Structure 1
Amino acid sequence: MSAQRRGLEADDLARVMGAFTRGSVRLPSAEKHSFTTLSVLHTLAGKGPMRVSALKVTEQITQPAITQLVSRLERDGLVERRPDVEDGRAVLVQITEAGARIVRTRHRERVRRFTELMATLTPEERATISAALPALERMATLMDTERGSMAAAVPEGLS
């Protein structure tokens, strides 16, 4: 029985979204960077400057790993560290124009590829996906809000 006939099942959603996410992450790109690098750049592009400790939570990697990654991204000119105006002892990591350019390029490449893929779908399939977008966007917002709450709950120290 199809998922459509029996109703929405969390297992079906997780399976399909997992496959879609893997396919989306693996789309060919002119910009060759690790998934974690791209994730940090996308996070900073979408959320604005963040403390390293908050990035550690959103990216779900260890403190040494995020510190090393931020240092490498800074060395490569993709992010920069700036004093936190609300707490002069703390530092915020923000994306640079070069980092933002990578995010924009990847977005354009995804749009191009999704346009190609959507052209192979039936009008009914495209309409179904279109109708599902508001609910999927709401779920993404809920996941972001949940991660943001976890990041805010982490003791910041001076990072």
Structure 2
Amino acid sequence: MEPKTNFTELNVSDFAMAFEELTRIFIRMPSIEKLSFTTLSVLHTLSLRSPMRLSELIATEQVTQSAITQLVTRLERDGLVERRPDPSDGRAVLVHITPQGASVIDSRRTERIMQIARLIEGLSPGERAAIASALPALKRLAELGNA
């Protein structure tokens, strides 16, 4: 069933399909860091919002408490995150990304930028300009999705 929209200048269905395909390509881009999607997602989330409580990670990553606890334990063992007491609540802990964890995200981002740059070379100047002009709206859309 097609969602009903009042947008005359934007076909939301076409946008969603293109976005899904780009996301699939983006997620599967080869990387030196051979980590699972969930691991990378947690590290990326922490790179933007560290520190976080486990309950917040459960909500953002949409996994069970058991799964996030196991993952954070593994990441902590690997030196990518660390747990510290929450100064506002002595019963809770906050998960912080370490410099090593941030480095993983930075290197993956750098790799992806290089790979995407190669794809963009295949676009016409007009197509590149269209993407450039859409960036503010895409950033705002991401903000709305993170709100």
Q: TM-score band, normalised by the shorter chain?
A: over 0.9
Q: What is the aligned partner in structure 2 of residue 26 from structure 1? A: 28
Structure 1 runs of 4+ with >2 Å offset: none
Other structure's SS at 2:104 match: helix
The gaps in structure 2 that reach 5 residues or longer are 1-7
The separation in 2 between residues aligned to 1:28 and 1:68, in whole angstroms, is 25
The separation in 1 between residues aligned to 2:64 and 2:12, in whole angstroms, is 29
The separation in 2 between residues aligned to 1:83 and 1:61, in whole angstroms, is 22
Deviation (angstroms), 1:140 = 0.5
1:66 has 2:65 as partner: no
The gaps in structure 1 that reach 5 residues or longer are 1-5, 146-159
Deviation (angstroms), 1:11 = 1.1
Other structure's SS at 1:83 match: strand
Q: What is the aligned partner in structure 1 of residue 4 from structure 2? A: none
1:15-34 C-alpha deviation (Å, 9 max, x unpaired)? 11111111001111000000
Q: What letter matches 2:95 in structure 1? A: V
Structure 1 length as normaliser, TM-score? 0.85
The separation in 2 between residues aligned to 1:59 and 1:39, in whole angstroms, is 7
Deviation (angstroms), 1:7 = 2.6
Q: What is the aligned partner in structure 2 of residue 97 from structure 1? A: 99
Identify the structure with bigger relative contact order (alpha carbons < 8 Å, sequence gap 6+). Answer: 1
The separation in 1 between residues aligned to 2:19 and 2:65, in whole angstroms, is 28
1:22-71 C-alpha deviation (Å, 9 max, x unpaired)? 10011110000000000000000011110001000000111111111111
Q: What is the aligned partner in structure 1 of residue 88 from structure 2? A: 86
Other structure's SS at 1:61 match: coil
The separation in 1 between residues aligned to 2:94 and 2:142, in whole angstroms, is 25
Q: Please show how residues 32-51 of structure 1 align to structure 2 within 5 Å.
A: 32-51=34-53
Deviation (angstroms), 1:105 = 0.3
Q: How many residues align?
A: 140
Q: What is the aligned partner in structure 2 of residue 10 from structure 1? A: 12
Q: What is the aligned partner in structure 2 of residue 112 from structure 1? A: 114
The separation in 1 between residues aligned to 2:135 and 2:87, in whole angstroms, is 37
